[in-house]
A = this chain, B = another copy of it.
């Protein structure tokens, strides 16, 4: 292990801002070379999250949903937090039924993704869902989610669709296509 890979020491950590959803922590760090820095990061809620790429009858199924950050409707794969007592697979299957009205007979883990590790600790398990069957669960969405069915063969066009931009969905699309072409 090289010098630069010795983790900095956290000499102080305190919450500097807090809202209903977010807790921001300030860290006083001393790096192994003596450099001192003050960093901020989001304190995680320790709940994992899942994203699912559903494949059904030669189509990818996506959800079109309002996103407050951009104040726009965005297309992406079904996703959500893992509830207490759920396994990641159970959460994936629940989110599928809530967001697109299908359950999955087969879920395969593609990769664990992180989200800006400089600021967040949260991880997200990405699955591909196959052997789908119709099954609906009531979610807490304020309005019905629009399901977008996209031809698998046209997946490269999805990459260039203006409201398909979320990095986790883009990663999930490529991971799923890798899986499908090298199963």
Contacts and interface: CB of A to CB of B under 8 A. Distances in A.
Nearest to A44: B69
A116 B67 CA distance: 8
Nearest to A112: B165
> Which of A2, A42, A144, A171 has the most chain B CB atoms closer than 10 A to its own CB?
A171
Nearest to A67: B117
Assembly stoichiometry (copies): 2
Counting chain A residues whose Cβ lies within 8 A of the other chain, the interface size class is 35 or more
A166 B19 contact: no
Interface of A: 2, 4-5, 7-8, 10, 16-22, 24, 26-27, 29, 31-33, 35-37, 39-42, 64, 66-74, 111-121, 123-124, 142-146, 156, 159-160, 165-168, 170-171, 174-175, 178
